[in-house]
């Protein structure tokens, strides 16, 4: 197996990709939307859910004689070639930071060993399994999926269209039964059966029950709804779902769940990476993971408007004009604080970021704004005071009442193992949040 490890938001010479040349040729200068269609699983869904990555963003973009990586982390493969994209904040050793974000935000078990390539394909498959509870819970918030299906009967309670050919075959000589079929609105349909097959598949894994206990109520609803489940029907159910994908916009969470279930169940027949003729992999939006992680740390002192779900929408102007979603608005109005999660280094937080936060501060009468970013270099907080006056009038001077602060969460880069990294992160988290309780 040929393995190359790079970092997100980095730039490297094209020569460095020679060992994974075929894979590079398949993904270079292709958008995330194109790669999704070719089999790469992107979390969250690029087009609908992620603000910080877009459908036209590229994983590897050609820039003269170099390739520039995007804002995503994860694994990609083609044939016997593998590309691992780690976090730029992990230092030179293991990417414990990426692993920690997954653990905190998505409750992933400790499986991310990015340097080991012996079980790279199994690790990739495990990622899909560990995503299942998250997607199942998101879909089931809309309730059980229900749709019309056609049932065939042969009894004396005729309620639908008579099937003449089947009636002659089954009811000669006539003894009182009639063969007929009827369209019924049912929970026990091909999609719910697909979910049930996925549940049963995960149960057989050594960690399956521990994984599903997180969504035990949802799993019980699925099992209760699929009374016609038969293990031997798995391939038939897979084919039905491949032909009939969820189309209604209201059930888009079920579309994502359907796609994930198909990837999991088809893995048995098409072992990932074994003679594969297409690109495969799983990618995570680093900015989304960082923002959700920060929310876990400060959710008791900050509101968290979310444009992905449409909750907490704010407006700039009267008459519902100017829709905005600040990352964080302090619950305490005296003083009000605006905070913005930035998955970028200190020096990369610049002009557009300043304008955005200052606009939010003006809207919510806030005197302080914060940029919350990962700090791997050991830099201290940087406080910037807003100017007043004009250069034309030579009266520019710093105000003493309005400021923005670049407040970094220091990421340990010298940990020897994941347990040590976790312990150090707990200390840094306490220091990071302490400024908001002062």
pTM of the model: 0.77
Q: Would you give the distance in Å from CA 53 to the centre of its chain? A: 11
CA distance 204 to 216: 16
CA distance 326 to 303: 9
List, in order, residues 6 or more apart from 101 with CB less than 8 Å away.
87, 286, 289, 290, 293
Q: What does the chain come to in residues?
A: 438
Element containing residue 337 per DSSP (H, E): strand 337-341
Query: What pLDDT was estimated at residue 113?
Result: 43
CA distance 345 to 376: 8
- Taking the chain (438 residues) in runs of 10, the rounded mean pLDDT of each run is 87 91 90 80 60 63 91 84 88 84 79 44 72 88 79 74 78 81 76 93 84 89 91 91 86 87 71 52 88 94 79 87 91 93 92 93 95 91 95 95 95 89 94 88
Q: Are strands 382-388 and 178-186 parallel, antiparallel or unpaired?
A: unpaired
Query: What pLDDT was estimated at residue 317?
Result: 92
Complete edge-to-edge strand list for the sheet that includes strand 178-186: 147-155, 178-186, 161-162
- φ, ψ for residue 308, nearest 5 deg: -65, -40
Tokens found for residue 419: 């347990």
Tokens found for residue 190: 């091909």
Query: What pLDDT was estimated at residue 223?
Result: 93
Query: What pLDDT was estimated at residue 70?
Result: 87
């Amino acid at each position: 197996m040929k393995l190359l490890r790079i970092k997100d938001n980095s730039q490297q010479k094209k020569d460095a990709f020679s060992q994974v040349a075929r894979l590079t040729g398949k993904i270079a200068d292709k958008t995330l939307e194109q790669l999704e269609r070719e089999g790469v699983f992107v979390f969250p869904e690029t087009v609908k859910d992620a603000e910080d990555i877009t459908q036209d963003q590229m994983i590897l973009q050609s820039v003269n004689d170099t390739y520039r990586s995007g804002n995503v982390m994860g694994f990609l493969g083609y044939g016997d070639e593998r590309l691992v994209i780690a976090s730029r904040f992990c230092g030179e050793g293991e990417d414990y930071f990426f692993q920690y974000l997954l653990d905190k935000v998505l409750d992933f078990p400790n499986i991310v060993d990015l340097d080991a390539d012996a079980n790279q394909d199994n690790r990739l498959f495990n990622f899909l399994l560990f995503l299942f509870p998250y997607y199942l819970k998101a879909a089931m918030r809309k309730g059980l999926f229900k749709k019309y299906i056609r049932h065939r009967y042969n009894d004396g309670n005729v309620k639908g269209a008579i099937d003449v050919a089947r009636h002659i075959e089954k009811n000669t000589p006539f003894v009182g039964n009639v063969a007929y079929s009827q369209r019924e609105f049912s929970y026990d349909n091909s999609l719910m059966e697909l979910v049930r097959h996925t549940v049963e598949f995960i149960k057989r894994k050594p960690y399956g029950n521990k994984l599903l206990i997180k969504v035990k109520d949802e799993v019980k609803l699925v099992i209760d709804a699929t009374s016609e489940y038969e293990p031997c029907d798995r391939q038939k159910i897979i084919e039905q779902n491949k032909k009939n994908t969820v189309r209604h916009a209201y059930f888009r969470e079920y579309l994502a769940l359907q796609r994930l279930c198909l990837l999991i169940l088809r893995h048995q027949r098409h072992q990932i990476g074994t003679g594969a003729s297409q690109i495969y992999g799983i990618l995570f939006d680093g900015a989304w993971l960082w923002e959700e992680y920060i929310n876990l740390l400060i959710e008791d002192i900050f509101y968290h408007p979310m444009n992905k779900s449409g909750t907490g929408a704010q407006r700039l102007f009267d008459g519902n004009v100017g829709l905005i979603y600040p990352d964080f608005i302090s619950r305490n109005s005296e003083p009000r604080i605006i905070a913005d999660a930035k998955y970028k280094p200190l020096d990369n937080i610049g002009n557009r970021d300043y304008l955005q936060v200052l606009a939010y501060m003006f809207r919510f009468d806030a005197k302080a704004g914060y940029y919350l970013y990962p700090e791997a270099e050991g830099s201290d907080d940087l406080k910037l005071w807003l100017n007043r006056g004009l250069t034309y009038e030579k009266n520019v001077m710093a105000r003493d009442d309005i400021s923005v602060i670049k407040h970094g969460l220091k990421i340990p880069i010298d940990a020897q193992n994941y347990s040590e990294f976790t312990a150090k992160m707990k200390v840094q988290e306490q220091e990071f949040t302490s400024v908001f309780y002062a």
